[in-house]
Chain A
Amino acid sequence: MNRPASIVIWDPVVRIFHWTLAAIVLANYWLTDPGEDIHTWFGYAAGAAVLLRVGWGFVGGRHARFADFPISRARIREHVAELRARSLPAESGHNPLGAIMIYLMFLLVFLLVCTGWLHEEIDALYGNDLLQRVHAYAAHALWAGALVHVAAVFIMQYLLGRVELVRPMITGRRRIRR
């Protein structure tokens, strides 16, 4: 009766990255003012975190690697079939739809860092209306993405997937029902 009751899903780098990005997105969207130094530095920190995560996607643990969550029609079909059956494999990491969201968010962070940097560092672009608009729309899109992500997590955990998602992102381990 010594079977393990849980399995490792997310390594510490993935988890620290996830919560760092979550905190920065929350802070920079709701708490800090654009133009404040802290907003700028949070933004650069988020950019650096994404770069590190991309690197980790090549050398990290099993579920951290990009190769573990490719996006393809076949994988999306398979994933939808698993959702229909209300059973996701207990050891699964990122699903292909989640993978699309990940790349979209990385792209938005990159866009935010670029437009923010240009606005602050290139004198001729300081106050530039187009840059501010692109920055604002990207920020709204990122926040919307975060809301969709959170909603999807709870829908997947309790309704469609019936698989623990929140705990593994905190402790790294998923408890297995037997």
Chain B
Amino acid sequence: MKLHRTLFVSISIAALAGCASEETTQCTSEPRSAWQDADAFQQNLIDQGYRINEFKVTDGSCYEIYGFDADDTKVEIYFNPVDGSIVKREED
């Protein structure tokens, strides 16, 4: 039975750790009415030299882009849709 107990405990810990870490990136709690216009937001990024592959509005209330920044670095960026600040930036 010792084997079973070890297995049970390790699976439980893994499952708990999994649930605990499962959170989406949250960018703002402001209502949609306070957000910047999505098209203008993208145009502003393009003017700054970004190339946008894909633009998304995430479940965590972010404007998210996949594409390339002005230095041609491949990036995935989560923006606060209210003030336009970068909440999370991942380079690939």
Chain A residues in contact with chain B, CB under 8 A?
A: 26, 29-31, 35-36, 120, 123-124, 126-129, 166-167, 170
Contact = CB atoms under 8 A, between A and B. Distances in A.
Given A30-B18, A31-B18, A127 B4 contact: no
10 contacts: A26-B18, A29-B18, A30-B15, A30-B22, A35-B92, A120-B92, A123-B68, A127-B56, A127-B66, A170-B7
Given A35-B76, A166-B4, A127 B92 contact: no
B67 interface: yes
B71 interface: no
Contacts of B14: 26, 30
Nearest to B52: A127
Contacts, number: 44
A126 B92 contact: yes
Highest count of chain B CB atoms <10 Å: which of A31, A128, A129, A170: A31
Interface residues of B, number: 21
Most A Cβ at <10 Å: residue of B3, B22, B53, B92: B92
Contacts of A120: 92
A169 to B, nearest CB: 10
Given A26-B14, A31-B18, A35-B76, A127 B90 contact: no
Given A166-B7, A170-B7, 8 more contacts: A30-B14, A30-B21, A35-B92, A124-B53, A126-B67, A126-B92, A128-B54, A129-B54
Given A31-B21, A35-B90, A126 B3 contact: no
B23 to A, nearest CB: 10
A30 B66 CA distance: 22
